[in-house]
Structure 1
Amino acid sequence: MTLDQFFDNLWNDYTAMTPQAQRIHDAFVDAGENIINDHVAFRTFDRGPITLADLEPHLLALGYTRYEPYDFAAKKLRAYGYLPPSPDQPRVFLSELKCDELSASAQRIIDGLVGQIDAERVQAPEVLWAGRLWAPPSFEDYQALMEESEYAAWLAIIGLRANHFTISVNHFHSYDSVEKVLDKIESLGLGINASGGRIKGSPDVLLEQGSTLADRAEFSFAGGQIEEIPTCYYEFAKRYRDVDGKLYQGFVAASADKIFESTNVRGERHAG
């Protein structure tokens, strides 16, 4: 599988789950901008056959290299950033939930999900847009996970797929700042993740980021209960050059911590 094929498949799955993404993409193309993908991000559990270590080989086989580790103590996550084989290709951010830090009851729910995974399906790169590899949880289990980790609850029902793509603001001409991009997004009637501020980061940390609030869709939980929940979102990033004149390639943990909240159920209630 080529890198272009990999990202085409990811994009098709992502836009099916995130209608706002195609709308945003098209709006900037219509405005004369060139859309370059800065990075995509994935979420997983550190249990069963889908740990970060299990999924990473698919990225390495595509020519990616591990760059920097990140730790999100409050959200109970660990992550790595990955650099592409060519500078004009998207970076990747892969995170996993530290399940041992959840309650015994939450761990039992997660173990029940990952215990259903056919390990053979994890051997192919298609697993990264396979969605849920287990039967849907009950809404009660989803809510129980939500009390401890929005990330865990999201992953339990959404499954493995890119939770966001990211437009590189560096490649824009008219919309050459994250603020201008966010203003354009709001003009389309879409919400912005305001957790930690509309813009996360600054030129001082060499990266500015902003994001939409996730789209929402109806999902069937165990027993046929249907509920509308957050799905995926679109991010916008502007990178700055360091003292050596090199464009910053990593991620800023404090900003990423707030970007994660683009999919929060509770976060949407106070983010406007």
Structure 2
Amino acid sequence: MTTLETVLDGLMSRYKERVPDVSAIINAMIEEGVIVKDSDIENDHIAFRTIGVPHLGIQSFEKIFLHNGYTKKDYYNFSEKKLDAYWYAPPADKYPRIFISELRVKDLSPEAQAIIHRYTDEVTADPVDSIDLNNGAAVDKFLHSALWRTPTLADYQTLAAESEYAAWVIYNRYYLNHFTVSVHNLKPGYNTVADFNAFLERRGFKLNDAGGKIKTSPDKGLLQSSTVARMIEATFANGEKQLIAGSYVEFAERRVLPQFAQLPPAAIKREHRREGFEANNADKIFESTYSNQTGKS
């Protein structure tokens, strides 16, 4: 197993443990004969959330994946959510794309900034620089280790009132935010987001309806949907507990580009489909962990 495969395997195994919807969706797909085993699923992309402060954020986190052959691609700006983001193309088609977002801390209120720095100032040097990036086990351990102390419930709640993204990251750190099922490679009846959403809802899964259940790029080439994050019991400093949003699962349909429309289905590869991301789609997908979605009955 390569370093990258060790890292991706570690991320996915812990994510499955913590996000019950992952196994539930996979099991439902197996029961309906959509797939035979979970490795039949193509993972379109995985996403991470970071905080833009010294020694951390995208400039630190991306080193792990750039070192392992990923290529930095397009920039995205989410003005209302105060986020910057980039996506990264994998070294081979068998690996997922990566999407990394970062909170523009300086755009928050002085109170929110102070709370964030109370924790992140404990990080006094770029932690990625001290890791052997050729050691998959070391990278895996880093991605699942706390970089700062557990926040208090009061600090979490104050941040959440201003930026639910900030609150999510201050508690979860670099925890994998979601993985994405490529639905276009599934069998007919399940290979569009519309069909797959119908399957999910028939099976009792709750979908994020911010901006509509199907988020569609202006060119109609990228369609996305996602489950709503399940609430998990979080333990804060001093042992205080509260239910907070965990992670979720996303679904993507990348349509064949017009210039390749005549290709027979068996000849279609990743390079023939719509690539990259769409800021307006992603903006609404972020809300899968927001209370406007998790708070719905």
Bin of the TM-score, shorter chain as denominator length: over 0.9
C-alpha distance in structure 2 between counterparts of 1:266 and 1:225, whole Å? 24
**Following the alignment from structure 1 to structure 2, what is the Cα–Cα distance between the partners of residues 158 and 189?**
27
Q: How does 1:55-204 map to 2 (within 5 A)?
A: 55-117=61-123, 119=125, 121-123=127-129, 124=131, 125-126=139-140, 129-130=143-144, 132-174=146-188, 175-201=190-216, 204=219
Alpha-carbon distance between aligned partners in 2 of 1:95 and 1:120, rounded to the nearest angstrom: 17
Q: Secondary structure at the match of 1:173?
A: coil
Q: What residue number does 2:229 align with? A: 214
Residues 203-226 of structure 1, C-alpha deviations (whole Å, 9 max, x = no match): 833100000000221111122210
Give 2:281's aligned amino acid: S
Verify the 8 A CA contact 2:11 2:176 in the aligned structure 1. Answer: yes
C-alpha change, 1:57 and 1:202, in structure 2 (3 Å) is closer
Partner of 1:19: 20
Q: Rg: which structure is higher?
A: 2
Deviation at 1:128, TM superposition (A): 6.4
Q: Is the 8 A contact 1:132 1:157 kept in 2?
A: no
Q: Do 2:217 and 2:281's aligned partners in 1 also have CA atoms closer than 8 Å?
A: no
User: Quick one: distance in 2 between partners of 1:188 and 1:118?
Assistant: 47
Please tell me the residue identity of whatever aligns with 1:214.
A
* TM-superposed deviation, 1:242: 2.7
The 3-state SS of whatever aligns with 2:149 is coil
Q: What is the one-letter code of the residue matched to 1:255?
A: N
Greater CA drift, 197-206 or 94-103: 197-206
Q: How many residues align?
A: 271
Q: Secondary structure at the match of 1:49?
A: coil
Q: Which amino acid aligns with 1:90?
A: P
Contact 2:231 2:294 in 1 (8 A): no
- Displacement after TM superposition at 1:92 (Å): 0.3
Aligned equivalents of 1:7, 1:267: Cα separation in 2: 28
Structure 1 stretch 183-192 or stretch 256-265: which is displaced more?
183-192
Against the structure 1 CA distance between its residues 119 and 20, is the aligned structure 2 distance closer, same or farther, given a 3 Å change threshold? farther
How far, CA to CA, are the matches of 2:195 and 2:234 in structure 1? 34
Verify the 8 A CA contact 2:222 2:253 in the aligned structure 1.
yes
State the partner residue of 2:34: 32
Equivalences for residues 39-54 of structure 1 within 5 A: 39-54=45-60
List per-residue Cα deviations over 1:153-191 (Å, max 9, x = no partner): 111111112100000011100311112211222233221
Residue type of the alignment partner of 1:28: M
Identify the match of residue 289 of structure 2 among 259, 263, 272. 263
Q: Percent identity?
A: 38
Q: Is the 8 A contact 2:216 2:281 kept in 1?
A: yes
CA distance in 2, matches of 1:218, 1:132: 18
2:136 matched residue in structure 1: none
TM-score scaled by length of structure 1 = 0.93
5+ residue gaps, structure 1, are none
Q: Secondary structure at the match of 2:169?
A: helix
- Aligned partners of 2:44 and 2:97 also within 8 Å: yes
Any conservation in 2 of the 1:137–1:221 contact (CA below 8 Å)?
yes
Query: In structure 2, how many angstroms separate the alpha carbons of the residues matched to 1:91 and 1:128?
Result: 20
Q: Is the 1:40–1:93 contact (alpha carbons within 8 Å) kept by the matching residues of 2?
A: yes
Instruction: Say if 1:197 and 1:20 are closer, same or farther in 2 by CA, change over 3 A.
Output: same
